Amino acid sequence: MKDKIIKITSRYQNDRHRLMDILIDIHDLQGYVSDTDIEVLAQQLGMSEVEINETVTFYHFFSKKPRGKYNIFLNNSITAFMRGREKVKKTLEEECGTKIGSVSPDGLFGLYSTSCMGMNDQGPSAIINDKVFTNLTPYRVRKLIADLKSGKTLDEAIYESTGDGNNSDPDVRSMVFNNIRKRMILLERNYKKFEVIRNLLIKHSPDEIVGIVEESNLRGRGGAGFPTGLKWRFGRRVEADHRVIICNADEGEPGTFKDRVLLTEFPDLVFEGMVIAAYATSADIGLVYLRYEYRYLYKYLNRILDEMRKQNLLGENIAGVKHFNFDIRIQLGAGAYVCGEESALIESLEGKRGEPRDKPPFPVQNGYLGYPTIVNNVETLAAAVRIVKNGADWFKGFGTTDSLGTKLLSVSGDCKFPGIYEVEWGTSIREVMEMSGADDVQAIQVGGPSGVMISVKDIDSLGTTDLMKWYKPSGMMVAQKTFDRRLSYSDLPTGGSIMIFNSQRDLLNEVVMNFMDFFIEESCGSCSTCRNLPFLMKKKLEKIVSGHGVRKDIDDLLNWGRIIKVSRCGLGQTAANPVVSSILNFRYLYEQHVKAMADFDNVFDMEKSVEAANNFVGRKTILHHV
């Protein structure tokens, strides 16, 4: 193994910044990385072993223990549970002969849980050796596992049929479906590939391109909504030898999958956006940070990049523009939601654990390897192409005054037609419900667990929607508003995740608990607050749900939810949102559980707590009551 590792590291010039690639290559080879491998790596890269170990143990898809021949990562997002995940899990465990979190005795199967993998509209889904399996049912699981046991390859086993559109491309061949339900200016089919690079760049100076994007008022589609033109201008302004454009394709917010669809159907559009951004900011380094869950697109995306290189749309003097040199490399993540945060993403790109940086300095000042770095979401880059092509005025014809253009919504949960909806900004939540065929709605989660939860109380008789914005990372709380809130940066900003819950759903026990598990699992752990509070809050919530809560527990949760807002990055700052917002909007659910009269209950159960010792010494439990 030692020689093989040395071969791998030399493929990357023993560059420690490529540690992610090196570790992925080692996993491809033997499925895990052992302590002796780490020893070799440390020597080759000039690092200490604990430093290598730090990266290895951070990412969910890396392992220090041998895994199975087939490793099944079953998705655990809330909508998967709503579509029968428990049964699927049970069947998997039975058929594979092992429990989630372990490897079967014959070494054939490793079973694991994994956070939302961008397939909420077709869950429960699983990743098996980098391939995606969607719409799992106990029947399909039984068949699949039987096939694998009988020696069929994954490719033979799965593909009853491949998905729509480019999901059937020979380099993709996945069973994933795009489920595009509504197309507007971004998803419309009339896209002529690379027109802007070929024809327009030569006509405009970089400054003019930045100007067009600024004029259009395009704002980041990754969730934070930072004005894109301004970000580009910042990046341009900083003196540096190199500048970096990063396409953020980490898409980790539970419930979003629109970047996956864009990358499947319009990869050229996204890459063209990167080239335009590079031209506008004089950047020469391009990186796509692709979440590991989307590895099934890796080969296909690289093929497009190769085609672009052949056509001189990447490389040197691109499209005949003198001194415009730029190329793109795709970097795979390895399973960590926080790596979607731009500075954590940069750390990860540098081969380190995905721990967000303190800001300031911002990535535009000091990013990848210290160079000014512009991080943009997949959708933002795609929109930029349309804007440069058609002009800012055209773009301004869509949306509302403060939120121009359209937004891709990833709709999932209790509705008839989950999938991708491209809507104009300003569309109301009610319209989204109607479009997606959601008749029975108790609550809607806008923007994923860290976003906004909306309650729809008795919508027919009241005729009003009871909406309240979760407080934003800045600590601002917006007063309750009524009826038909609209998706916009000033009212209901969103990265596009819309999850719908019908009246049968147990919001506290199922939904909020699931979201808290997500934050507990995904925190980088660096902040004292974010490392500890989600866990403590979940424990408190369990106490309440189990009937042992008192009024003070609700107040405690609100107080704790304020403390966590001092965390470093958006993950920690919003990690209490599921609890806090459900208290604000669904207080009656909490009131139902807590004891109205008691002011103290700490769940202590004498019988349970003496059980272990009594069993060990061999005596009966006899309780004397005082």
604 binds other proteins (CB under 8 A): yes
Binding mask 103-142 for ligand FMN (x = CB under 6 A): ----------------------------------------
Stretch in the footprint of ligand SF4 (CB under 6 A) among 249-257, 384-392, 507-515, 525-533: 525-533
Upstream peptide bond of 356 is cis (omega within 30 degrees of 0): no
Binder to ligand FMN among 252, 255, 449, 496 (CB under 6 A)? 252
473 binds ligand SF4 (CB under 6 A): no
Binding mask 351-380 for ligand SF4 (x = CB under 6 A): -----x------------------------
Is residue 157 within a helix (H) or strand (E), and if so which, with residue range? helix 154-158
Binder to ligand FMN among 42, 154, 224, 610 (CB under 6 A)? 224
Tell me how far apart the alpha carbons of residues 515 and 450 are, in angstroms, rounded to a whole number.
9
Long-range contacts formed by 200-208: CB under 8 A, 24+ apart: 200/388, 200/389, 201/276, 201/279, 201/318, 201/319, 201/321, 201/324, 202/319, 202/320, 202/321, 204/388, 206/236, 206/279, 206/280, 206/281, 206/282
Binding mask 539-578 for ligand FMN (x = CB under 6 A): ------------------------------xxx-------
Stretch in the footprint of other proteins (CB under 8 A) among 389-397, 425-433, 447-455, 518-526: 518-526
- Give the nearest distance from C-beta 454 to other proteins in angstroms: 25
Tell me how far apart the alpha carbons of residues 280 and 273 are, in angstroms, rounded to a whole number.
10
Stretch in the footprint of other proteins (CB under 8 A) among 65-73, 188-196, 416-424, 473-481: 473-481
Taking Cα atoms as reference points, which of 607, 604, 586, 588 lies closest to residue 596? 588
- Contact yes or no for 30/5 (Cβ under 8 A): no
Q: Decide: residue 19, CB within 10 A, 0-12 exposed, 13-18 middle, 19+ buried.
A: buried
The residues in 308-347 that bind other proteins, with binding defined as CB under 8 A, are 336
292 binds, among ligand FMN, other proteins, ligand SF4, none (CB under 5 to 8 A by kind): none
- Contact yes or no for 234/364 (Cβ under 8 A): yes
DSSP 71-129: EEEEE--HHHHHTTHHHHHHHHHHHHTS-TTEE-TTSSEEEEEES--S-GGG-S-EEET
Tell me how far apart the alpha carbons of residues 74 and 88 are, in angstroms, rounded to a whole number.
9
Q: Which two three-digit tokens encode residue 381?
A: 């880059």
Question: Beta strands of 178-249 (E only): which ranges?
Answer: 180-182, 244-249
524 binds ligand SF4 (CB under 6 A): yes
CB atoms under 10 Å from CB of 140, counted, come to 16
338 binds ligand SF4 (CB under 6 A): yes
* φ, ψ dihedrals at 375, nearest 5°: -105, 125
- Give the nearest distance from C-beta 577 to ligand SF4 in angstroms: 13
380 binds, among ligand SF4, other proteins, ligand FMN, none (CB under 5 to 8 A by kind): ligand FMN
Helices (H) and strands (E) in the chain, counts: 26, 17
Based on CB atoms, which residue is closest to other proteins, 480 or 614?
614
* φ, ψ dihedrals at 553, nearest 5°: -60, -35
- Give the nearest distance from C-beta 526 to ligand SF4 in angstroms: 4
- Give the nearest distance from C-beta 203 to ligand SF4 in angstroms: 43
Which amino acid makes up residue 15? D
- Give the nearest distance from C-beta 255 to other proteins in angstroms: 21
527 binds other proteins (CB under 8 A): yes
Binding mask 528-557 for ligand SF4 (x = CB under 6 A): --xx--------------------------
What letter does residue 595 receive in the DSSP assignment? B
Which amino acid makes up residue 242? H
Cα 293 to chain centroid, rounded? 10
The residues in 351-410 that bind other proteins, with binding defined as CB under 8 A, are 353, 358, 360
Tell me how far apart the alpha carbons of residues 73 and 31 are, in angstroms, rounded to a whole number.
14
141 binds ligand SF4 (CB under 6 A): no
The residues in 367-406 that bind ligand FMN, with binding defined as CB under 6 A, are 375-377, 380
41 binds other proteins (CB under 8 A): no
- Give the nearest distance from C-beta 572 to ligand SF4 in angstroms: 2
Based on CB atoms, which residue is closest to ligand SF4, 251 or 284?
251
Binder to ligand SF4 among 510, 526, 535, 552 (CB under 6 A)? 526
101 binds other proteins (CB under 8 A): no
Please report the sign of the dihedral spanned by the C-alpha atoms of residue 21, residue 27, residue 32, residue 37: negative
- Give the nearest distance from C-beta 563 to ligand SF4 in angstroms: 12
136 binds ligand SF4 (CB under 6 A): no
Binder to other proteins among 78, 453, 524, 545 (CB under 8 A)? 524
Q: Measured at the alpha carbon of residue 30, what is the angle toward residues 29 and 34, in degrees to the nearest 5?
A: 125
Q: Residue 458: CB partners within 8 Å, gap ≥ 6?
A: none
- Give the nearest distance from C-beta 472 to ligand FMN in angstroms: 12
The CA-to-CA distance between both ends of the chain, in Å, stands at: 66
List contacts with ligand FMN (CB under 6 A).
Answer: 220-224, 226, 248, 250-253, 338, 340-342, 375-377, 380, 569-571
List contacts with other proteins (CB under 8 A).
Answer: 46-51, 53-54, 57-58, 336, 353, 358, 360, 474-476, 520-529, 531-536, 539, 556, 559-560, 562-563, 565-568, 599-600, 602, 604, 606, 608-614, 616-624, 626
List contacts with ligand SF4 (CB under 6 A).
Answer: 338, 356, 523-527, 530-531, 567-569, 571-572
